[in-house]
Amino acid sequence: MSGATDIREGAPPAKRELPRWLTRLPLHIVVIALVLIWMIPSIGLFINSFRSPTDITSSGWWTALFPPENFTLDNYAYVIGRSGIGDAFVNSLFIAIPATIIPVFVAAFAGYAFAWFRFPGRNVIFLAVVALLVVPLQTTFIPLLQLFAPLGWNGEFLSVWLAHTGYGLPFAIYLLRNFMSELPREVFESADIDGAGSATKFFRLAIPMTIPAIAALAIFQFLFTWNDLLVAFVFIGASNPTNLPLTVVVANLVQSTGGGWQYLAAAAFLTMAVPLVVFLALQRYFVRGLTGGAVKG
């Protein structure tokens, strides 16, 4: 990212040149202003989450930037203690982790098959899978709820795990197939000479070389399932409130603001904690995976 050279350096020198930092000042002002605009909403929430309920309702968060500061952890204590947020946090983990692992495995098999096996209709079928990307999830809910009802799956984590797997697969297969089809052919050919079977080539050669794409996919799927409101709302929602994840519980808190919107800031920050840590720690892989698929060709 930092490898780009400054394009202005090559400009022919003007007669009475202004100092370089001065000509570049407007650029810095615009960039820093944009970054600030993007961060202010989150900063406001962050500061409010440490202010007492009376402070939040009587003065803006920006007043807390100046003394006297009265920061407190009470909101977090209240939210964790009262509204079942702790349980919801655990539920979110129980939903997101299996819903990340299962589609990655299924997509890896399919991506490998589309990339390296020859069979009639290969590209047409692959395109059909990619086309499924645009099916609105909303379209699928009623039939699936009716399918799950006799099995007793509604309200259970199982329904959400399986549904997230199905919904995540078109993108997952698309990403992994594209990455796997770029792997060097020679490696597989020399394995053929050694008499390696498909399973050996897949587990010993293809998977280790595909780790960057698998990492990007896993991060993407984890963020998607952790942040999901709709799928959990529909499949768990009404039938089993004790299994609800953090997003739904906090969304309900927001809607029923009678419950004290002063506490919302702390609740929202609890939902953001895990994705922010995952994202900041692993964003390099995430960005590489995203741009690799979109810019290529």
Partner 1 sequence: MDPRLFNAIVVVVGVPGALVGYILLIETLLRGVPGRLQGRIRPWLWLLPAFGFLGVFLVYPTIQTVIKSFQDRAARNFIGLANYEWFFGSSEMVSTLVNTLVWVVLLPLITVGVGLLIAVLLDRVKYESIAKSAIFLPLAISATAAGVIWFFMFLWQPPGQPQVGTLNGILDAAGADPVAFLQVSDYRFNTVMLVIVMAWMWTGFAMVIISAAYKGISRELMEAARVDGATEWQVFKGIVWPLLLPTIAVISTTMIITALKAFDLVYVMSGGQFDTSVIAFEMIQQFGFGQQGRSSAVAVILLLAIIPIMAFNIRRFQAQEAIQ
Q: Which residues in 77-136 contact partner 1 (CB under 8 A)? A: 90-91, 94, 97-98, 101-103, 105-107, 109-110, 112-114, 117-119, 122-123, 125, 127, 129-136
Site for partner 1 in 174-193 (CB under 8 A): none
CB closer to partner 1 out of 84 and 275: 275
Q: Which of 269, 274, 272, 164 has the alpha carbon at shortest distance from 221?
A: 164
Identify whether the C-beta of residue 78 lies closer than 8 Å to the C-beta of residue 266: yes
Distances (CA, A) of 177 to 12, 128, 227, 275: 48, 14, 26, 26
**C-alpha to C-alpha distance for 282 and 218, rounded to whole angstroms:** 11
Q: Nearest approach, Cβ of 162 to partner 1 (angstroms)?
A: 7
Could you tell me the CA-to-CA distances from 44 to 15, 60, 86 in Å, in that order?
A: 47, 9, 24
How many residues of this chain bind partner 1 (CB under 8 A)?
Answer: 123
- Checking phi first, is residue 109 left (phi over 0); if not, alpha (psi -120 to 50) or beta? alpha
> Which of residues 52, 53, 141, 209 is near partner 1 by CB under 8 A?
141
Neighbours of 106 (CB within 10 A): 16
C-alpha distance from residue 184 to each of 191, 195, 213, 292 (Å)? 12, 18, 15, 17
Element (H, E) at 173: helix 157-180
Q: What CA–CA distance (Å, rounded) separates 117 from 98?
A: 28
Residue 45 vs 209, nearer CB to partner 1: 45
The least CB distance from residue 72 to partner 1, in Å, is: 17
| Contact flag: residue 264 with partner 1 (CB under 8 A) | yes
Tell me the per-residue interface mask from 195 to 234 with partner 1, x by CB under 8 A, - otherwise. --xxx--xx-------------------x--xxxxx---x
- Which residue from 84, 86, 166, 212 is in contact with partner 1, where contact means CB under 8 A? 166
Exactly one of 19, 138, 150, 258 binds partner 1 (CB under 8 A); that residue is 138
Minimum distance between the CB of residue 120 and partner 1, rounded to whole angstroms? Answer: 9
Site for partner 1 in 22-61 (CB under 8 A): 24, 27-28, 30-31, 34-35, 38-42, 44-45, 48, 56-61
Cβ proximity to partner 1: between 90 and 187 the closer is 90
Query: How many Å apart are CA 24 and CA 217, to the nearest integer?
Result: 39
Q: Which two tokens mark 104?
A: 């990655």
Q: Which is nearer to partner 1, 26 or 68 (by Cβ)?
A: 26
